[in-house]
Amino acid sequence: MAAIAVAVPRAADATASVGNAFRRAATLNLHDTIAAVSTPPGRGGIGVVRISGTSARSIADRLLRFPHGYSWQPWTAALAELTSEGDGGAVDHVVVTYFAAPRSYTAEDLVEISCHGAPVVLRYALERACALGARLAEPGEYTLRAYLNGRIDLPRAEAVRDLIEATTLYQARIAAQQVDGSVSRRLKPVKEQLLELIALLEAGIDFAEDDIDVAPADEILRRIEPVLTAVRELIASFAYGKLVHEGFTLAIVGRPNVGKSSLFNRLLEQDRAIVTNLPGTTRDLVSETASLEGIPVRFVDTAGIRTGGDVVEKLGIERSHQAMADADLTLVVVDLSVRLDPQDSALIEKARSQGKVVVAGNKCDLHKGSEMDDALPVSALTGAGVPELRRRLLEAIAPQGRLEQEGGFITSLRHEQLLRESSQALEHTQTAVTLGLPHEMLLLDLYAALRPIDAITGATTADDILNRIFSTFCIGK
């Protein structure tokens, strides 16, 4: 049998760009039964082959040999043998789990075959499944089917991707909460209130001959205000959500021998940078990624900044200045064991002129030679003050701190941009109301505010509006 190219297994369950979901759906036959390896590439104890679609069970029946008398039982696991195409001998002993539609991830019949994690066994199982009528799943197609079949909404689908790509436990927890619907729950009342206002104005226009009152301007403004406030709060939450999703870059700068590399190692909790008593030991940028309370941070240790030095050191100093300019946050390190040098003050001022800055006074365990009110005393040698420094860094980059409704903030740039469109349309509506424009014109802006929210949560149909009109006004009773 000709070999079948296997797509990257993890990608089979990750969501692709949701903005392309409908275009991709139009090019795929969603009535096909699909198959993919859903565990990462390489060897492991277990590897999972997923088959989803109307033919999932019949394909699995021909691919596997079950104990005599076995009958499919939804949401239960069973032992079986993966059989050879030729003589019917056992290739592997597997565990098969069957999820019946619509109570499965894709809302279709779904069979998961847990094999031993040998790549050759997984490849064989996938090739056999495709030979028996399945086709290889496209990247993200399982989650795309879950969305199109109404199993999950768009924010949940995007959160699946974020959960797979999480690099810290905090990122994973936030993504898991969003998979569970934390963003959708915050958007639901916003959309409900907006739909109620649209239904009110539509009814007032379409059924004016039935003596249904048209809402006065004050009532319309009263209804718009909580919607606009909620949208603005969600937009504001992206400042912290972006940090959770993408992390930030921290440049550690200072004069030679102030202890930058030692503090760099202390923050990382590993000996990553070379530390000596010789000035100019660090000649080039040294970077490492770690996390601060679950937020990914790229720490950059830089060459000591001073005047003079050889050609190589000068090149390192130029890169230090560039690292300051590129960083989201700069940590300026000064030496508290000696008098403050004018170069320290100049470096602090330059860093402040370029962005957010935290000043740390290192070597606080030694006799203090200088006093700085805004410098946080720390000791890279003993660790004193380092926990406070971590908190100070987070406060500097995210002054609002963690929101009370953890996970209820938005982490997607797509969501933030759409919510800004909705906010602008709502502001235009307010202006139109104060100018006394007809309700037909107000509805144009209100629908313009609804469309971006629909792009996040899923479309609102005309039936949704009509249902609200009929249920609210009891027309035709």
Instruction: Tell me how crowded residue 65 is: count the other CB atoms within 10 A of its CB.
Output: 15
pLDDT score recorded for residue 203: 81
Contacts of 433 by beta carbon, 8 Å cutoff, 6+ apart: 217, 220, 221, 224, 442
Question: Which letter does DSSP use for residue 222 in this model?
Answer: H
Question: Which letter does DSSP use for residue 276 in this model?
Answer: -
Tell which residue, 333, 397, 401, 398, has the closest CA to residue 362.
Answer: 333
Question: Which letter does DSSP use for residue 8 in this model?
Answer: P
User: Could you give the count of Cα atoms lying within 13 Å of 312 in the half-sphere of its Cβ?
Assistant: 6
For 355, the token pair is 């962005």
CATH code given to domain 10-151? 3.30.1360.120
Residue 388 CA to residue 386 CA, distance in Å, equals 5
Residue 287 CA to residue 2 CA, distance in Å, equals 46
3-state secondary structure of 357: strand
Topology of domain 173-242+412-473 in CATH is Four Helix Bundle (Hemerythrin (Met), subunit A) (1.20.120)
What are the pLDDT tens digits along the chain (477 aa)? 333 333 333 333 333 444 454 455 556 677 899 999 999 888 999 999 999 999 999 999 999 999 988 899 999 999 999 999 878 889 999 999 999 999 999 999 999 999 999 999 999 999 999 999 999 998 888 888 888 898 888 888 888 888 888 888 888 988 888 888 888 888 999 999 999 999 889 887 766 555 555 688 999 999 999 999 999 999 998 988 888 888 999 999 988 888 888 898 888 876 654 444 545 545 457 788 888 888 899 998 887 776 655 565 567 677 877 888 888 999 999 988 888 888 888 888 988 988 899 999 998 888 666 667 788 999 988 999 999 999 999 888 876 555 444 557 888 888 999 999 999 999 999 999 999 999 889 999 999 999 999 888 876 656 665 555 445 443 334
Is residue 355 a contact partner of residue 328, using CB atoms and an 8 Å limit?
A: yes
Answer yes or no: same fold for 173-242+412-473 and 247-397.
no
pLDDT score recorded for residue 473: 44
Strands 135-136 and 110-117: unpaired
CATH code given to domain 247-397? 3.40.50.300
pLDDT score recorded for residue 426: 97
Tell which residue, 158, 56, 50, has the closest CA to residue 101.
Answer: 56
Question: Which letter does DSSP use for residue 210 in this model?
Answer: G
The model's pTM: 0.73
Question: Which letter does DSSP use for residue 461 in this model?
Answer: P
Q: What residue segments make up the domains of the chain, in order of their start?
A: 10-151, 173-242+412-473, 247-397
